[in-house]
Structure 1
Amino acid sequence: MTPANNKSAKKVPVLEAFIKAKCPRCRRGDIYSTPTYGFSAQRMHERCSHCNLHYEREPGYWYVAMFVSYTFNVAEMVTFAVGTHILTGSNSPWLYVGVLMAVVFLLSPFNYRYSRVALLYWLTPGLNYEPWRAEDKAPLPGDGKAGEKPD
């Protein structure tokens, strides 16, 4: 069965797969092996456990995630600074410094994780969702085996 005529694959919603940090190609395998918040460092799988996608597309690929994380930080800081001003009306710079440092500290694990997931989902050319790969025994074109062909 080829990907073009396979209509039985269940399409996983992109937002649900993004939030759960699933593989962007099959949306079944986990990207991370650890939870977002915990006492251990966050660890990524090297490959998708379902479709065998290699997550690090090229050497230095994750450096771009720093720019995505920076964008997340700026958006969060502006949001919380405006929210603090609306709620308190204070002009004290120490209040804003305290609130924003707490926000940066508390959201850094979230930013680390989702900057990489966003990079994989929306900022990597040529990496698209392929619903037929989400099946349990999806054949790879020209391979004849389920999920063993490395990218």
Structure 2
Amino acid sequence: MNKVKENELKMWPSIVHARCPRCRVGKIYENPMYSLTGQKMLKKCPHCGMIYEREPGYFYAAMYVSYAFIVAELVSLSVGTSVLTGSTNPWLYTAVLLSVVAVLSPFNLRYSRVLLLHWFTPGLHYRPELSKHLPHQQ
């Protein structure tokens, strides 16, 4: 069995809390997901200094991840609405699907970018030595 070393941080908590994929300590976003000021993404990791936007237009690729999220949400909601209500009224489905997708759009935006950084960026790997506190942060 492959044990995780003591100083290594696990991947899933860092994805859920939107942390840097390289050090898994620094935040990716300045403010909460549902905020009146919107979601402001930091330019670089406050802990290890990694620049999040790898190249100009890098986060356009997150649209594909977001598209997959929306398709999964719409299919699940359609099946759930059909099972729970048994209705064939298209206006019911339209109202349910559009309202839930509108509510989940901040989630889709945030986690499509986080997953793009953590999973779909070639050459970007976790470096456990960066998880330790840097001298200027103590």
TM-score scaled by length of structure 2: 0.92
| Paired-residue identity, % | 51
Residue deviations 1:60-83 (CA, integer Å, cap 9, x gap): 101001111111001001011101
Which residue in 2 is equivalent to 1:18? 15
Deviation at 1:11, TM superposition (A): 1.5
Partner residue in 2 for 1:82: 79
Deviations 1:102-145 (A, max 9, x none): 1110000000000000000000000011111101138xxxxxxx
* Structure 1 CA distance for aligned equivalents of residues 79 and 134 of structure 2: 50
- Structure 2 match to 1:61: 58
**Amino acid in structure 1 at the alignment position of 2:33:** T
Which position in structure 2 is the counterpart of 1:123? 120
Give the TM-score taking structure 1 as reference length: 0.84
Q: CA deviation at 1:9?
A: 5.9
Tell me the distance in 2 between the aligned counterparts of 1:89 and 1:79.
Answer: 15
Is residue 46 from structure 1 mapped to residue 43 from structure 2 by the alignment?
yes
Q: Does 1:102 align with 2:102?
A: no
Contact 1:27 1:129 in 2 (8 A): yes
Q: How many corresponding residue pairs?
A: 134
Q: Secondary structure at the match of 1:62?
A: helix
In 1, the alpha carbon distance for the partners of 2:124 and 2:59 equals: 15
Matched residue, 1:141: none
Task: Mark the structure with the bigger radius of gyration.
Answer: 1
In proportion to residue count, which structure has more helix? 2
Tell me how far apart the structure 2 counterparts of residues 37 and 76 of structure 1 sit (CA, whole Å). Answer: 19
Alpha-carbon contact 1:9-1:135 (below 8 Å) kept: no
Unaligned runs of 5+ in 2: none
CA distance in 1, matches of 2:99, 2:134: 46
Instruction: After the TM superposition, list the runs of 4 or more consecutive aligned residues in structure 1 that deviate by more than 6 angstroms.
Output: none
**Runs of at least 5 residues in structure 1 that lack an aligned partner in the other structure:** 1-7, 139-145
| Residue type of the alignment partner of 1:33 | E
